[in-house]
Structure 1
Amino acid sequence: MVLRVLLIFSVALVKSALSSNILIACPVPSPSHQIWNYAFAEGLMEKGHNITMAGPDARMRKPSDRYHPIVFEDIIVKLMASKKFDFEGSSDQSVFQSMMTFYNYVYLTCELLYESDGFQQILNYPKDYKFDLIIVDMTLGPCLYPLIQRFNYPPTIGITAFLLPPNLSFSFGNYLPQSYLPHYHMNYLQNMTFSERVMNFVVANFELALKYVYEANQIQKLAYKAFGEGMESVRDLENHISLLLCNLSPAFQYPQPITPNIIPVGGLHARPARKLSQDIQEIMDKSTNGVIIMSLGTNIRSDKLGKSNIEAILSAFSKLKQTVLWKFESDFDNLPKNVIIRKFLPQNDILSHPNTKLFISHGGGLSTLETAYHGVPILGIPFFVDQFMLMNAMVEKGVGIKLELSDITTESLLNTINELLQNKKYSRNIQEISYRMKDQLSTPLQTAVFWAEYAIRHNGTHHLSPKSRHLPLFVSTSTDVILFLLLIFALSLGVLVFSNRFLYKCLYSKPGKEKLN
């Protein structure tokens, strides 16, 4: 008994000695993205680390000895109420307008964040306060990069739940090939035509230039105002971030080359089911014909789809024998008997239930990875940005069907649902992908936690950064060499042509005319 107590005490001491103070700085005002970040935070806390979470939704988890929230309050509400930014209207814009809208969104988010009480709270930490690691969400750029300098340059790694954006990939020295990887703003498949490849190239490089200009000017000025003129440039601070953990799964998404300082941990939020609430559990267990779950994420409200769309959807659902669980944000009367609405649904846990037969989704990055992990076919209704590209990939892999909101009628929706339920190829293909995602040496969450602790142990991971991270694009891609060789070839060809013409004139010119003169 005494030995057992001593052993438990020794283990507790070791855990205490190995625990680290970690700051997770997240400016992204999207609750769905926080699901990914919180899964990472929970994995770190399970290893004994102390987490300070600074973000718009930091109170999604209650404070505890190991979890300390700092809330950038009301950012989401102020963003939606702002006349400077129209989130819903962005779906009708051109790709270039959409990019400008995104960067305006970034600017406004930073502006609101700097005005929040939570931001002042973290600035008021003692100057000698020590974080062993800073994890910064890089999805919306450099708003919180100056915290690296504020806390005396601890090891820092980046995270993004937004797949692997080309601009972030480039920041770590990894220039993604535009010849076969569609940009997330483009509604393309992997096999692009020549004209699509030209457009894809233009869009991807336009965004790189836009990011550079925006961060070096607008965001930099905001940051100087918030942190003081003694702050380093956000570009220099970004170079201190030595590793990027991205929501990319090679078992599911398009294969792509990545450098050693980018670690794919796609689907780290997807996990085996936790216990459902009693009412949901009863619904799932009693639905012998199967369950269809419909959820459009946190940025799209089902109750804002419009009266005609809602009526068409409900009419299609009423003709099904399956039970439909619909995440619907307001009350609704006269529902079909097989339709149940809830303002919140535990999406991951419902997808994990064996009676779940179909997922009707907006096709976002987190949702597509969850449905792939659990092996459930998907009917995607995309709305903006990466959702079109992701649903194209799902269609290409034969695991789902895309149906745009403008094309929804009772008949089209019913036919699509029946095709997905009755054609076994969809469930067969998605279950094969699910098997691949689970057949890994370690789970994505375990991998993410390992690399976070690795960065603490080795004071960052700069030894993994390729030289391309610190070279101009035209040098790292050998564009200067290609242009030089083309110039040499053009000059050589010019000299050859000129020489041939000169020799031709010398050999074949007529001397008779000269003698006659």
Structure 2
Amino acid sequence: MKLLILFGLTLLCGVESLKILVYFPLPVRSVGMLGQGIVRHLLDAGHEVTFVTVYPMKDVRPSLKQVDISSNKELVAKDESLMLSFMLENNVQDTDVLYIQTFFKENSRQTFTNENFTKFLQDTSQRFDLVLADLMESEVSAGLSVVYDCPYVWYYSMGAHWHVLRLIDEGKNPAYDPDYLTTTIAPFSFLQRVEQLWARIKYKALKTFITLPEEKKIYEEIFTPLLAQRGRTLPNYENVIYNASLVFGNEHNAVKHRPSTPQNFKYVGGIHIPDPVTPLPKKLQDLMDNAKHGVIYFSMGSFFKSKHLPQSLVRGLVKTFGELKETVLWKFEEDLTDLPSNLHILQWAPQASILAHPNLKFFITHGGLLSSIEAIHFGVPVITIPVYFDQFTNAEKAVKNGYAIRVPLSYDLPETLRPAIKSMLSDDIYKKKVTELSIIYHDRLVPPGKELVHWVEHVVKTRGALHLRSPALNVPLYQRLFLDLLAVILVILYIIRRIIKNLTTKTPKKTEKKKKN
């Protein structure tokens, strides 16, 4: 018995508790869920976490401190352009790149001027072993690694797109690697390749000449006095943003059509899904258990709310769902009256627990990445209605992977949804395909949470994991494109041409003219 106690104490002593700053400033509930999932895994591994968040956790522990920046919600609270009704009325299909860059830049500005966060940053007694920050368009938060003089890790809420790969390696070729705002998936036609090339040129031009200078100014205004308090000077912004040790990507190997990635890019998709899932509330559990024809679940996510749909469209959907024999669960944020007996409104839906239920037939979704990952995790086919941002890309991937049907968001949605529902109920190919992907998804050496914890600890243990960094970051663009070699070849060709020209050009003979008397 004494030997067992001694062995246990030895194990405990071998566990080194790290102090980790987790930074998730985006006022989007789904991204907040990712941050909370990361924090839970780090806490369970015995580490101390300070969580900068818009959505503070209720799971309070002694090893968890939280910095409340919930005032960031003001950025989206009154923005009508981000409501479903606006999308419908204005037929929004393309995403405004400059608007997105500006939004995330302003989100950074608001976060670093938040009273709670400002007070926290000015406390010079704070020490951290690592900073783990959400990455979305703005890299201003990279300055946190300078303040705390520790390794820095990005968490990217999407897959391995060139926007993020450029920070640790190089952006992949637009001929086969689309960005997350596209509506098409490789292989591309000629015109699609041209569109992808133009989209990248446009994005980089806006970022380089408009957004980046403004972000650099925010970086200098915020971090110069913080470094002065600590007796240090601020390094160059361009050097800091390319200094991350790792990037965690919120995707997984079951999804096809992904670009190759460097060794310091790690997939941890599904990290937010509890294992085991939380039990359903008894009333909902009984409802799903007793649904003899199965259940259909409909949700437009946490950001886009069904209550913002026009009333005519809402009543049309109610009529469409009422024609079904299946039980329908609709996440709708307000009460609805005059409902058919098979339609049930949920103002809050425990989505993972619903998707895990064996009676669920399929999932009607907006196609957000978290919902897409959950569908594969639980082996549930989907009808996807993409609205904005990366949802079009996610929808195209789901369709090409064979487990989804895409339906456009329009005023005709009640009508266009009918044949999609019929196909999903009558054809079992969608269920077969998603089951195949789910097997691939679950066939991992370790769950995503344990993998994240391992690499976080590895970065600290190896003082920044420099051995994992790509050599591409140290190679100037002109060398990567062999422009210097091209210049040498052109010079040599020019010299050869001149030599040949001189050798082949005959010198005209001079003739003397005789004088005439």
Same fold per superposition (TM over 0.5) = yes
Q: Is the 8 A contact 1:26 1:55 kept in 2?
A: yes
1:232 aligns with 2:248: no
The Cα of 1:338 is off from its aligned counterpart by: 1.0
Residue of structure 1 in register with 2:229 after alignment: none
Q: Is the 8 A contact 1:374 1:434 kept in 2?
A: yes
Q: 1:76 to 1:233 in 2, by over 3 A?
A: farther
Residue of structure 2 in register with 1:480 after alignment: 483
| AA in 1 matched with 2:338 | N
Q: 1:381 to 1:132 in 2, by over 3 A?
A: same
Residue of structure 1 in register with 2:510 after alignment: none
1:387 aligns with 2:391: yes
| AA in 1 matched with 2:198 | V
The Cα of 1:335 is off from its aligned counterpart by: 1.4
Residue of structure 1 in register with 2:208 after alignment: 212
Residue of structure 1 in register with 2:117 after alignment: 119
Q: 1:53 to 1:486 in 2, by over 3 A?
A: same
Give ranges in structure 2 of 5+ residues lacking alignment. Answer: 226-232, 507-517
Q: 1:288 to 1:8 in 2, by over 3 A?
A: farther
The Cα of 1:74 is off from its aligned counterpart by: 1.5
1:20 aligns with 2:18: yes
Distance in 1 of aligned mates of 2:141 and 2:463 = 20
Residue of structure 1 in register with 2:228 after alignment: none
1:178 aligns with 2:168: no
1:297 to 291, 295, 301: 301
Residue of structure 1 in register with 2:457 after alignment: 453
Residue of structure 1 in register with 2:405 after alignment: 401
1:201 aligns with 2:205: no
Residue of structure 1 in register with 2:325 after alignment: 321
1:222 to 218, 221, 227: 218
Q: Is the 8 A contact 1:80 1:87 kept in 2?
A: no
1:157 aligns with 2:153: yes
Distance in 1 of aligned mates of 2:217 and 2:210 = 10
Residue of structure 2 in register with 1:139 after alignment: 136
1:352 aligns with 2:356: yes
Give ranges in structure 1 of 5+ residues lacking alignment. Answer: 507-517
The Cα of 1:140 is off from its aligned counterpart by: 3.8
1:87 aligns with 2:82: yes
Residue of structure 2 in register with 1:42 after alignment: 40
Residue of structure 2 in register with 1:55 after alignment: 53
1:72 aligns with 2:69: yes
Q: 1:259 to 1:78 in 2, by over 3 A?
A: closer
SS at the partner of 2:410?
helix
| AA in 2 matched with 1:422 | S
| AA in 2 matched with 1:269 | H
Residue of structure 2 in register with 1:515 after alignment: none
More displaced, 420-429 or 404-413?
A: 404-413
Q: Is the 8 A contact 2:161 2:177 kept in 1?
A: no
The Cα of 1:98 is off from its aligned counterpart by: 0.8
Distance in 2 of aligned mates of 1:443 and 1:488 = 56
Q: Is the 8 A contact 1:167 1:208 kept in 2?
A: no
The Cα of 1:11 is off from its aligned counterpart by: 4.6
SS at the partner of 2:70?
coil
Q: 1:492 to 1:407 in 2, by over 3 A?
A: farther
More displaced, 333-342 or 140-149?
A: 140-149
User: Pairwise CA RMSD of aligned residues?
Assistant: 2.8
Q: Is the 8 A contact 1:142 1:215 kept in 2?
A: no
| AA in 2 matched with 1:179 | A
1:334 to 319, 334, 338: 338
1:420 aligns with 2:424: yes
SS at the partner of 2:171?
coil
Distance in 2 of aligned mates of 1:163 and 1:11 = 36
1:432 to 420, 436, 446: 436
Residue of structure 2 in register with 1:269 after alignment: 272
Residue of structure 1 in register with 2:145 after alignment: 148
Summarize deviations over 1:318-352 as a string: whole Å, max 9, x none.
Answer: 01111111111111111111111112111112111
Summarize deviations over 1:205-235 as a string: whole Å, max 9, x none.
Answer: 3323433334531112123223336533332
Distance in 2 of aligned mates of 1:482 and 1:55 = 49
| AA in 1 matched with 2:249 | C
Summarize deviations over 1:383-421 as a string: whole Å, max 9, x none.
Answer: 112111111111112110111111634332121111012
Q: Is the 8 A contact 1:377 1:426 kept in 2?
A: yes
Q: Is the 8 A contact 1:72 1:113 kept in 2?
A: yes
More displaced, 404-413 or 478-487?
A: 478-487
Distance in 2 of aligned mates of 1:490 and 1:328 = 70
| AA in 1 matched with 2:377 | Y
Distance in 2 of aligned mates of 1:66 and 1:117 = 23
Q: Is the 8 A contact 2:135 2:157 kept in 1?
A: no
The Cα of 1:63 is off from its aligned counterpart by: 2.7
SS at the partner of 1:171?
coil
TM-score, scaled to structure 1: 0.88
Residue of structure 1 in register with 2:285 after alignment: 281
Q: 1:318 to 1:237 in 2, by over 3 A?
A: same
Q: Is the 8 A contact 2:53 2:69 kept in 1?
A: yes
Distance in 1 of aligned mates of 2:391 and 2:112 = 30
SS at the partner of 2:141?
coil
| AA in 2 matched with 1:398 | G
Distance in 2 of aligned mates of 1:358 and 1:134 = 39
Distance in 2 of aligned mates of 1:355 and 1:55 = 36
Residue of structure 1 in register with 2:509 after alignment: none
The Cα of 1:182 is off from its aligned counterpart by: 2.3
More displaced, 402-411 or 19-28?
A: 402-411
Q: 1:129 to 1:115 in 2, by over 3 A?
A: closer
Q: 1:209 to 1:253 in 2, by over 3 A?
A: farther
Q: 1:343 to 1:481 in 2, by over 3 A?
A: farther
More displaced, 287-296 or 137-146?
A: 137-146
Equivalent pairs, count: 494
SS at the partner of 1:453?
helix
Distance in 1 of aligned mates of 2:411 and 2:494 = 56
Residue of structure 2 in register with 1:251 after alignment: 254
Q: Is the 8 A contact 1:28 1:140 kept in 2?
A: no
The Cα of 1:479 is off from its aligned counterpart by: 5.0
SS at the partner of 2:140?
coil
Q: Is the 8 A contact 2:132 2:155 kept in 1?
A: yes
Q: Is the 8 A contact 2:160 2:261 kept in 1?
A: no
| AA in 2 matched with 1:47 | A
Q: Is the 8 A contact 1:174 1:258 kept in 2?
A: no
Using the aligned pairs only, state the percent identity: 24
Distance in 2 of aligned mates of 1:474 and 1:465 = 20
Distance in 2 of aligned mates of 1:138 and 1:189 = 23
Residue of structure 2 in register with 1:444 after alignment: 448
The Cα of 1:263 is off from its aligned counterpart by: 1.2
Distance in 1 of aligned mates of 2:99 and 2:93 = 10
Residue of structure 1 in register with 2:230 after alignment: none
Summarize deviations over 1:158-211 as a string: whole Å, max 9, x none.
Answer: 111122332211111132221122222221122211111011022123323433
Q: Is the 8 A contact 2:255 2:397 kept in 1?
A: no
More displaced, 238-247 or 262-271?
A: 262-271
1:363 aligns with 2:337: no
